[in-house]
Chain A
Amino acid sequence: MKKFKKYIKAFELGLQSSMEYRANFALSLISSVFPMIMQIFLWTAIFFNSNDQKILGYDYVHMISYIIIASIINKLVSTGFEWDISEDIRNGGLNKFITRPIGYFSYRVFSFLGSKIMQLAIVSAILAIILTIINSNFSLGINPARILLFLLSILLALLLNTFLCILFSSAAFWMTENWAAFIFMNLLTQFASGGLFPIDILGKRFMRLLDFLPFKYIVYFPTNIINGKLQFEEIFIGIALQCAWIAATIALGKIFWKIGMKKYIAVGG
């Protein structure tokens, strides 16, 4: 199908560009390791100097394994193409797709996937190795069923993050200082998704608040599947909620984009 060829090309271009910036890729992987290492040292020091087995609801093994796994998943599901989209909105690159914004999203997402494939492959491999090591040393109760559900939740998390990204990038229709909105959204996502630390240590009230937001399903939820912290029922409910949030985000995204496109066309692109 000729139309599909365009998306394949977008994928290819994304892949090419990711190989061009191969040094950057390796370095950015390395740089994301440092915060993780700092956390490990911190909590090791805390647990080492404490008499308590459990601190803030976590025991040592679960805390450390959370930190490691969450960092990797964070990298796995990260997006970042909101900048490209906002460029298109600001510079009128959107004009090419004006009648069919759906074509535009497909284009963007395919391009994004192309640039992400290599990262996904490498990081997944790392994750698999890490999980094997952790599991063999401190049994986390990983079995094939769990792994399957885990993979599913990761895929859903990536989708969720992708659609959130599309939703956030619509900010460019209304703000010239959309960079601020993006950075804020990124910070919020980082914090609330559990990518930095297990967010439940912030207390029950905070968790209740997060229940109303999609963020915890991006990192916190998948991590706790493979971490062994969740029971099967909880996992199934969680996955259902992930899907629900994806649907909600798509719907919200559509609304905002529709309004935004109207404004865009009214101004003349």
Chain B
Amino acid sequence: MSAIIEVKDLYKEFSYYEKDVGLKNSVKNLFLRKKLIKKAVKQISFEIEQGEIVGFLGPNGAGKTTTLKMLSGILYPTSGYAKVLGYTPWERKNEFKRQFSIVMGQKNQLWWDLPANESLYLNKCIYEIDDRSYNETLGILTELLDVKDLLKVQVRRLSLGERMKMELIASLLHKPKILFLDEPTIGLDIISQRKIRDFISYYNKEQKTTVLLTSHYMADIEGLCKRTIVINHGEIVYDGELSKVNEIFDNTKIIKLQFESPIDIKSLENFGKIKEVEDLKATIEIEKSNVRESIMELLGRFPVKDFTIEDIPVEEGIAMLYSKGGKSLEKI
């Protein structure tokens, strides 16, 4: 059983020039500039089977988009190996291009001033789709995404959510075997986000299209992916079932409290780890299993005006993952 995507020791570094602020430095820049190197992706390896939906999770700048660009052939790696559908992506063979699609949130491939169907037709010609398949696929996709009557509307008049749907259709006309999605729900309202997620999930089940999705929204990954690869600072920090990651996150909850009058900080310490204290506000970390009990006691003991129970933010969770020796949870 060979994987549809194979990545081994993929490494990518960028060089760039430093620019300091201020007049003096501008003059300095006339003569010499400091060259810096950023290591975006540090020898990552993983394999993906056909039909999987895998999420790439990580904070901004972690290397998700860079990895995706290498897998789609946009960037050459500095070193390393990757095979997608049996092809080396950066060789950019046309046969390879005809079998995958990439959609980047906030970047349009559709012509802005023209109705969506014109751009779709252009794609038909570019991917050499025959009339019958085109009409059939178009019909199905517009039905699924409920945009049939929007085909004749100019892209610039569509809402962000509708545009995203059109982008997805444009990328699926040629029935690709692999779909790369880079931050597909960024900027969308909650309802559109959900609709897009449902669609991708459905499409993946029906067509067995392999989906690789990057996001920094947990909700995206939770909604779609069984497996998630967590990337931080260019390294894979976790690769496995999402539920296990959730366990780590879910073990701890954050309680934010607002008080009517000043309280004794010391007595708060009994409840959990105090993260932040300020005037009449406090933030505590509490074990999930203790949350209900703790809340009831807190409300009883202290003059609580308002409180919220929150999850650990992704970035922090990942940092936790890192420091808790995330490596021990890798590759189940």
Contacts and interface: CB of A to CB of B under 8 A. Distances in A.
Interface stretch (A15-23, A43-51, A213-221): A15-23
Interface in B6-35: 23, 26-27, 29-30
A200 interface: no
A12 interface: yes
B30 A15 contact: no
A195 to B, nearest CB: 30
Interface in A1-37: 12, 15-16, 19-20, 22
A16 B23 contact: yes
A80 B29 CA distance: 25
Contacts of B30: 19, 22
A16 B29 CA distance: 11
A16 B27 CA distance: 8
Interface in A161-189: none
B113 to A, nearest CB: 15
A141 B27 CA distance: 40
Nearest to A17: B26
Nearest to B21: A16
Contacts of A20: 26, 29
Nearest to B27: A19
B18 to A, nearest CB: 14
Contacts of B29: 19-20
Contacts of A19: 26-27, 29-30
A19 B28 CA distance: 10
A11 B30 CA distance: 19
Interface in A90-125: none
B121 to A, nearest CB: 30
Nearest to A15: B23
A2 to B, nearest CB: 20
A185 to B, nearest CB: 27
A238 to B, nearest CB: 39
Interface string B75-98: 000000000000000000000000
A12 B23 CA distance: 7
Contacts of A12: 23
A89 to B, nearest CB: 23
A19 B23 CA distance: 9
A210 to B, nearest CB: 41
A185 B185 CA distance: 45
A110 B219 CA distance: 50
A41 to B, nearest CB: 35
A19 B25 CA distance: 10
A15 B29 CA distance: 14
Nearest to B19: A20
A19 B26 CA distance: 7
A19 B30 CA distance: 7
A244 to B, nearest CB: 39
Contacts of B23: 12, 15-16
Contacts of A22: 30
A22 B30 CA distance: 8
A111 to B, nearest CB: 14
* Residue from B26, B27, B30 whose CB has the most chain A CB atoms within 10 Å: B26
Nearest to A16: B26
Nearest to A22: B30
A101 B253 CA distance: 54
A8 to B, nearest CB: 11
Contacts of B26: 16, 19-20
A182 B314 CA distance: 50
A118 to B, nearest CB: 11
A16 B20 CA distance: 12
A15 B23 CA distance: 8
A22 B33 CA distance: 14
B31 to A, nearest CB: 11
B148 to A, nearest CB: 34
Contacts of A16: 23, 26
A16 B26 CA distance: 6
11 contacts: A12-B23, A15-B23, A16-B23, A16-B26, A19-B26, A19-B27, A19-B29, A19-B30, A20-B26, A20-B29, A22-B30
Interchain residue pairs A-B with the least CB separation, the first 10: A19-B26, A16-B26, A16-B23, A12-B23, A19-B30, A22-B30, A20-B26, A19-B27, A15-B23, A19-B29
Interface of A: 12, 15-16, 19-20, 22
Given A19-B30, A20-B26, 9 more contacts: A12-B23, A15-B23, A16-B23, A16-B26, A19-B26, A19-B27, A19-B29, A20-B29, A22-B30
